[in-house]
Structure 1
Amino acid sequence: MTKERQPLSDPRAMRALAHPARLAILNKVQTDGTVTATEAAEVVGITPSAASYHLRMLAKYGFVEDAPPRGDGRERLWRGVRTSWTVSPEPDDQPEVRAAKDALIQMVRDEAAAEAGRALRNFDREPPEWREASTFVRSVLFLDAAEMKELTERIGELIDPYRLNGRDRSEAPPGARVAEAHITLFPRVERRTHAPSSDG
């Protein structure tokens, strides 16, 4: 069954998240379960103090929280709070809300494109079974709005059992890895040609 995802509508929270370092840190938290500022800094390429600041900003808007300490407990440990969230532009959005939504959606898409780029650059170094299982497909569809909504729901149902934050890792098969799916369904907008400028 598809799990309910939390919609984001607070422009302050969306602006806080629409930052490449914070998105990368949040991805690290979701992947590892818990992180310290030092661990987050190593992935993002910033100082631990900068990573600590970004973690506090993520905590301020409810994306991460303090986790029980590990080891000697000298370094603060963080864990994720929101397991899944959505951002959807609405016709009645106030300008501030719409601008924040647009910025966050674009940032998420940029991060997804960067992740796919890293995977492509590493593709030849992957084991054969992972190369065969990977796919980079762009499909052009012909359907109505109801069919596209149904397709979205069906794709979600297929993906749900494998979602990182919903699956018990101890029950996953040996060799399971963190993977990523990018799904974008939208009606095409007609491309309009522009007359060349007078200066060529």
Structure 2
Amino acid sequence: MTEHPEQPPPSARPQRRLDARSLRGLAHPLRMQIFELLNLDGPATATRLAERLGENTGTVSWHLRHLAEHGFIEEETGRGTKRERWWRRVPVANRLDTADFRDDPASRGALALYLHELVQQYFNRVTSYLDEEWEDEWRNVGTVSDWSNLRLTPGQLQSLNDELFAVIARHTVGEGSEPEPGALPVVVQLQSFPRRTEGGAA
């Protein structure tokens, strides 16, 4: 299984393949929440992040330094003060191939935690959208859908995912381009996976 938490257009930003060390550096519930906020909402200080997350500023600062040590975020130079630093995500798309950790027992715990927290983040985004008030023009174009009647081989599933990624890439504003007037940030979440039938057969 390959996870693309931040799937970019093919040429928009470089990719980094997560190794065991970087995975362990990110696989913590609070660090993943911090990284998500910096990814979705842009640069912030430890104080602002702590307020949003309901955490102690010192605790958030410690996790920010940890994320920076592992190359996920960096200080935004020329902004803030020595006592109040601004942090931003490093402009690299992180790619996780779970097969890389299949034979590494020491990383299984971090991998399981990371994947479960990632799915929880996806769930929280959907529930937030459903709980929020939106104008009809936006409410009527959002979707929460699933299709469960496909029968695919591994190669066909890979082809399906590649085609879907290509569609998203075509609708992604490139570096240096301006979005259309009235455009808002849009989250597209894609989960595609095989399901075992009753009795455990594939």
TM-score band by shorter chain is 0.7 to 0.9
1:6 Cα deviation after fit: 2.1
Quickly say closer, same or farther: Cα 1:71–1:98, change in 2 above 3 A: closer
Q: Which runs of 5+ in 1 are unaligned?
A: 194-200
Relative contact order, CA 8 A, sep 6+: which one is greater? 2
Quickly say closer, same or farther: Cα 1:158–1:62, change in 2 above 3 A: same
1:88 Cα deviation after fit: 2.3
CA distance in 2, matches of 1:76, 1:94: 37
1:2 aligns with 2:10: yes
Question: Which residue of structure 1 aligns with residue 77 of structure 2?
Answer: 68
CA distance in 2, matches of 1:161, 1:61: 31
Question: Which residue of structure 2 aligns with residue 136 of structure 1?
Answer: 144
Q: Which runs of 5+ in 2 are unaligned?
A: 1-8
1:107 aligns with 2:114: no
1:110 Cα deviation after fit: 1.1
1:82 Cα deviation after fit: 4.8
Deviations 1:120-171 (A, max 9, x none): 112xx1011111110000111222221111111111111125558x554x60
What SS does structure 1 have at the residue aligned with 2:196? coil
Question: Which residue of structure 2 aligns with residue 185 of structure 1?
Answer: 192
Code of the residue aligned with 2:194 in structure 1: it is P
CA distance in 2, matches of 1:72, 1:94: 42
Question: Which residue of structure 2 aligns with residue 17 of structure 1?
Answer: 26
Question: Which residue of structure 2 aligns with residue 58 of structure 1?
Answer: 67
Moved over 3 A (4+): 71-74, 161-164
CA distance in 2, matches of 1:162, 1:104: 28
What SS does structure 1 have at the residue aligned with 2:10? coil
**Would you say the 8 A contact 1:34–1:78 is kept in 2?**
yes
- State how many pairs are aligned: 188
1:108 Cα deviation after fit: 0.5
Code of the residue aligned with 2:58 in structure 1: it is S
Code of the residue aligned with 1:84 in structure 2: it is A
CA distance in 2, matches of 1:71, 1:92: 43
Deviations 1:35-70 (A, max 9, x none): 111121122121222211111111111100111132
CA distance in 2, matches of 1:191, 1:89: 26
Question: Which residue of structure 1 aligns with residue 6 of structure 2?
Answer: none
What SS does structure 2 have at the residue aligned with 1:49? helix
* TM-score relative to the length of structure 1: 0.82
CA distance in 1, matches of 2:175, 2:154: 31
Structure (1 or 2) with the larger CA radius of gyration: 1
Correspondence 1:81-100 to 2 at 5 A: 81-90=90-99, 92-100=102-110
CA distance in 2, matches of 1:78, 1:185: 33
CA distance in 1, matches of 2:103, 2:24: 15
CA distance in 2, matches of 1:151, 1:76: 43
Deviations 1:68-127 (A, max 9, x none): 1326665111111153112222174311123322221111011111121111112xx101
